[in-house]
Amino acid sequence: MQRFLIALFTIILASAMVSAEEVELKNGDKLDVKILDESDSEIVAEHPQLGRMVIKKEDVKPEGVPIPGLFGTSFMRGWSRNIGAGWSGSSGNSSDSSVNASLAAARSAETFRGDFTSAYFFANTDSERITNEFFANYQHEFLLKDSKFFIFVRGRFQYDEFEAWRQRISSSTGLGYDIFREKAFIMSAELGFGFARTWGSERQWRPEGVVSLAMSWTPLARHEFSADVTYYPDVADLPEFRLLANAAYTVGISRLDGLSLKLGAKNEYDSGQPGENNNLKYYGNLVYDF
């Protein structure tokens, strides 16, 4: 797994060094170019293979065109969607392998924002299963007109074969605030309350508070760094708490439309969990937008 991630990280660094602005034409073509000059009617750009070119703005796809639905229908119309997968293996004194897969969708509209994420992790060593877990999370944000405040509702399901609780659902709601919301940088904070319910050898309800901070940064075209951390204090048994944290860097692969490389890590800490309190996962994925 370590060699796989190092190789992906090397490719990402190489891509970042040669990254350029992306211009999408009305016919669907996407050009990775360095913009030299721009007027009301034309864009003067430098293409690494085609050289210097002049692009008429009337041929450029306007921003804000809705994303089409799945299979030519209206289902998921306007939602950005992606699926990802990664695998690594090694052999020698021991035989190791691991796989992970993800599915995500998001939409930002005038009155709401929606964000769905899910992932599956599996790993074994010498034919012995050591990781088998899945999570799905959805957050819906109701935007307040002419305000940086919003109301959020969040739901999450988790399955982990090697935790005492095996299955857990949690839900929360509260008030959020957009600290920054610019084209290249977004940061928001949330404060609320909710509950968690576990099944397995440990079965219990837990009322929880919610304190969250999330950010997204786009330093270059087709590059994105995102991170978030959420603190869940156990209201019924302070100072016990849960802490969820995620970080990921995604870079588009030039000339392969919709395909990206993603390196990330997720960590969950539960102070009241018997045995190992910390659960850290790191991964490398090929991600496809559809």
Q: Is the pLDDT of residue 182 over 60?
A: yes
Q: Is the pLDDT of residue 203 over 80?
A: no
pLDDT in the model for residue 72:
79
Per-residue pLDDT averaged across 228-244, rounded?
95
Domain boundaries 1-65, corresponding CATH code:
2.30.30.100
**For residue range 19-28, what is the model confidence (pLDDT) as tens digits?**
456 777 777 6
pLDDT in the model for residue 224:
95
pLDDT in the model for residue 94:
63
154 or 75: which leads in pLDDT: 154
Q: Where are the beta strands (DSSP E) in 57-94?
A: 80-90
Q: Is the pLDDT of residue 9 over 60?
A: no
**For residue range 207-220, what is the model confidence (pLDDT) as tens digits?**
999 999 999 999 98
pLDDT in the model for residue 19:
44
Q: Residues 6 or more apart from 170 whose CB is under 8 A from it? A: 155, 156, 158, 194, 195, 196, 197, 208, 232
Nearest to 5 by CA among 286, 258, 220: 286
150 or 276: which leads in pLDDT: 150
pLDDT in the model for residue 5:
46
Q: Is the pLDDT of residue 137 over 80?
A: yes
160 or 93: which leads in pLDDT: 160
Give residue limits of the domains in the chain: 1-65, 72-289
Q: Superfamily assignment of 72-289 in CATH? A: Nucleoside-specific channel-forming protein, Tsx-like (2.40.230.20)
Q: Residues 6 or more apart from 209 whose CB is under 8 A from it? A: 192, 193, 194, 231, 232, 233, 235
Question: What average pLDDT does the chain have?
Answer: 86
Q: Is the pLDDT of residue 257 over 80?
A: no
pLDDT in the model for residue 33:
79
- Same fold yes or no, 1-65 and 72-289: no
CA distances from 173 to 78, 166, 206, 210 (A): 25, 24, 15, 8
pLDDT in the model for residue 42:
86
**For residue range 42-101, what is the model confidence (pLDDT) as tens digits?**
888 888 778 888 988 888 877 656 678 888 788 888 899 999 999 866 666 666 889 999
CA distances from 131 to 89, 162, 212, 247, 278 (A): 14, 7, 27, 20, 14
